[in-house]
Amino acid sequence: MSKGGWVVLTTIGATPKTAGGDEMRNCSSFLVQSAQAMKRNGLHNVLIAAVAAIMLLLAGALGAYAEEESLPDRFMLRLGGYHARNADTIMRLDANNLPVGTYIDFHETLGGDTTTTVVRADALYRFNDHHALGFSWYDLKFTGVRSLSKDIVWNDQTYTASTVVDSKIKFDIYKLNYQYSVYHNEKVELGALIGFHVMRVFAGISASGINEAQSQAITAPLPVWGLFADYNFTPRFSVYYNYQVFFIDYQDKVRGGMQDMLFGLEYRLFRHLSLGAAYNRFNLNLELKGDKSTLNLDTGWNGGMVYAAAYF
């Protein structure tokens, strides 16, 4: 049993030639000498198990420290739950070349939702320290049902007071942008971005009792530009900020502006896995002219996200 115990100690004490190897060998030598003394007092077997556990913990700590010096970040995939709240939407749908219709408060007039929870995905691929491509996707839907308290006009269709109407607004959002890091080291990254915020907007009102339904769906590829920043408090704990904006007036087809701000915290649990949380503020004001009708939309919401991220 004594020889078996010394084999365990000798194996653990034989540390590879890495940073901290001398300290580990000195620590092992001290523990072996202490074990010889304790053996005479009948505690040898207990000490063998304790030493083995301590040495394994020390080796794991040193391994984790080494990993922190070069954590992978070439490719990032972030997936989580996105909760939008306090959504406030004013909308109007007009048939082209006809008098302007009614501005409608989606929540107050139509009983529309102000909250929704969806899945959101973000990805980033770095070509090198200065150049990267980013991608995001999420799909929001707000619905409502209400008996109207007043007449409204939607796409030249009049819905009279006391009519029960169903309503829906849906946003399919895709983002693709190129990022350039103006300054980038192990602690800080500062840069600018340019890309497209592709949004498919659907807005519709229906009244089943009178067999009327009027809706509009428009896809708008909106050019955006912005700024981003990342700061690493430690190799594993970081904070980041991303701000995107656009203003557009294109051939009387698309007019308006957008602001999209994301602020988050992230902690690297393991070499390839992180957990994080972020706050998002989104504002949009658009006039989208289709072949037969024109949609005016003024909307905004606060978003919160909890997610897991994989790094390679």
Q: Hey, which residues does 224 pair with through a beta bridge? A: 195
Q: Which of 36, 51, 68 represents a domain boundary (last residue)?
A: 68
47 and 181 share a domain? no
Q: 37 in helix, strand or coil?
A: helix
Tens digit of each residue's pLDDT, the chain (312 residues)? 433 433 333 333 333 444 444 544 444 454 445 445 444 444 445 445 544 554 455 445 444 444 455 789 999 999 999 999 999 999 999 888 777 888 999 999 999 999 999 999 999 999 999 999 999 999 999 999 999 999 999 988 888 999 999 999 999 999 999 999 999 998 999 999 999 988 888 888 988 766 666 777 777 778 899 999 999 999 999 999 999 999 888 777 888 899 999 999 999 999 999 999 999 999 999 888 878 888 899 999 999 999 999 999
Q: Which of 18, 34, 68 represents a domain boundary (last residue)?
A: 68
12 and 99 share a domain? no
Range of the domain at 52: 2-68
33 and 174 share a domain? no
This prediction's pTM: 0.74
191 and 268 share a domain? yes
Which of 304, 310, 312 has its CA nearest to residue 78?
A: 310
58 and 189 share a domain? no
183 and 41 share a domain? no
CATH of the domain at 186: 2.40.128.90
Distance, in Å, from the CA atom of 83 to the CA atom of 43, rounded to the nearest integer, reads 58
pLDDT for position 27: 46
pLDDT for position 36: 52
133 and 215 share a domain? yes
117 and 170 share a domain? yes
124 and 149 share a domain? yes
83 and 223 share a domain? yes
Distance, in Å, from the CA atom of 62 to the CA atom of 10, rounded to the nearest integer, reads 19
Question: How many separate domains does the chain show?
Answer: 2
pLDDT for position 12: 32
Torsion angle defined by CA atoms of residues 221, 222, 226 and 231, in that order, rounded to the nearest 10 degrees: -40
61 and 84 share a domain? no
pLDDT for position 35: 47
Which of 171, 178, 189 has its CA nearest to residue 225?
A: 178
168 and 270 share a domain? yes
pLDDT for position 65: 46
Q: Which of 42, 68, 94 represents a domain boundary (last residue)?
A: 68
